[in-house]
Structures are given as structure tokens and as C-alpha cells.
Amino acid sequence: MSNARDTDSDWNQLGAVDPYWAVITDERFRADKMDATTREAFYGSGFGDVDQFHAALKHYFLAPDHFEACLDFGAGVGRLLVPMAKRADKAVGVDIADSMRAVCQSHLKDVGLSNVKLVATPKEAATFGPFDWVNSFIVLQHIPSARGMILIDDLLAMVRPGGLLSLQVTTSRDTHLMPQDSAGPVRKLLRRVRKSLFPRPDSDIGQITMYDYDLGQVLALFTRAGCPRFVLEHTDHGGHHGFMIYAQKVAG
């Protein structure tokens, strides 16, 4: 697993050919299967997730019902951004993929939301901050950890004193999901044989790659950014284990 992989290109390609499936890898959401019913189910799942995150922040940190400004990092096609925006005066969605932002912008128009800005990078998002709530879910796990740590630091910096975070990272995986460079010799041989027997000519770009983070290093970033208290909830996505980190920045 190389940190040199251009995951930005992967996501722009995925957004162009299979944007909904790229967000939730459920066969129902393949581009050739999407219709009004499946699209409603897709976006409806985002409301359920945001309800859960918001409830956790209320429980742990007495979060308000409504926010002045919120941000969703890795907003994709707006699955979480829309329900967040409905709880805020203004919202910002960050996604590096032009193709994803285009789909998201179309959906925002369809649902009549005009309080949302879409940008490509945290640096652009910072001009609209600081934020009362910064969220990122099933996003950083697809970004090499060395780069992801910088992005986490950027996100923490955009939270206003007293503001809240809900941020998910992956930290480990089941044995059968080990990256090739850490697998045993037999497993490596089997993978080479499989690759030679069943080549995938289109696999150079548009892959969904998973990356693990050092939880201790991530929490150290939180502490240094003024979030000394945090709550962890375990996540498991098909054998990829991690944590949703809920935190509040100390008021200045």
C-alpha cells in the first residue's frame, strides 16, 4: 500500500462513472440501477447517519439543535451535507473531485438548498469559517494517512472555540484484508497468481483504496488543537475497523 497513490484521480473518476456507489458500495446504488426510489433511499440514509452523529454530540457535549455554520469534509454527492445544512444557517461541503461536486450541486438545486457552498479543499473552506460543527465520515479512510493527518489538522483548525467535531478514521483490519506489503508469503503469491489469471485493465484508476491511521497520533492532534476530551465509538465497515471520534474544542 503506497502513500504515493493519486487518490484524487481515483475519486474524480469514480464520481464521473459511479458517484453513488462510490459513496456507499452497495450494488443497489450502481449508476445503471439508480432510479427515483433508490436515489431517495441513498439520500435518506444520510439523514439517518446525521441524526445519529447529532444525537451523539448532544449526549456527550450538549450540542445545540441548530448551528450557525457547519462543514462536511468529503461531501461527495451531498448525502450527509444536505441534512447538516438543514440544521445550520450556512454549510460548506469539501470534496476534491470536480465530478462529485457537480452531482452534489445538482442535488442541492433539486432540494432547494441555497445556504451551501461547495469547495475543493480545506484551504478554500477556511474562508467561510470558523465552524460550529465539522464532520467527516467514511472519507479519511480512503486517503493515505500521511496526507490525512495534515487534513485532520486543517479541519481541527477550522472549528471555533466551543465548536464540535465528528470525525471517523480506520485503524485496523481483519487478517484477510491485510495490505499486500504486510501479508505473508503465501498470501502474496496467491494475489500475484490471481492478478495474472484475472487481469483488470481498468484497475489503474478509479479504485477504492483503504488506509489505516495510528489512533494515538490522531488523538494527539485533537489534544494539541484544544480538544482534550473526546469520545470514541467503534466502526466496522466490512472488516475495516476504526472509530468515530466525537470532540469539542475548548472555549477560548
CATH code of the domain containing 15: 3.40.50.150
Q: Is the pLDDT of residue 5 over 70?
A: no
Give a yes or no: residue 1 inside a domain: no
Residue 25's pLDDT band (boundaries 50, 70, 90)? confident
Residue 209's pLDDT band (boundaries 50, 70, 90)? confident
Give a yes or no: residue 2 inside a domain: no
E-strand ranges in the chain read 67-73, 88-94, 116-119, 131-136, 159-173, 230-237, 240-248
The chain-wide mean pLDDT, for the chain, equals 87
Give a yes or no: residue 195 inside a domain: yes
Give a yes or no: residue 223 inside a domain: yes
pLDDT at 76: 93
Collapsing DSSP to helix, strand or coil, 53 comes out as helix
Q: Is the pLDDT of residue 205 over 50?
A: no
Q: Is the pLDDT of residue 174 over 80?
A: no
pLDDT at 21: 85
Percent of the chain past pLDDT 90, that is, above it, reads 64
Q: Are 91 and 70 in contact (CB under 8 A)?
A: yes
Amino acid 185 reads: P
Cβ neighbours for 223, distance < 8 A, ≥ 6 positions apart: none
CA-based Rg of the chain, rounded to a whole angstrom? 18
Judging by beta carbons within 10 Å of its beta carbon (0-12, 13-18, 19+), is residue 199 exposed, middle or buried?
exposed
Buried/exposed 34-52: b ≥16 CB within 10 Å, e otherwise: beeeeeeebbebbeebbee
Query: Stretch 43-67: mean pLDDT, rounded?
Result: 97
Q: Where in the sequence is the domain holding 158, given as residue range(s)? A: 7-171+179-248
The pTM for the full model equals 0.83
Could you give the number of structural domains in the chain?
Answer: 1
Collapsing DSSP to helix, strand or coil, 84 comes out as helix
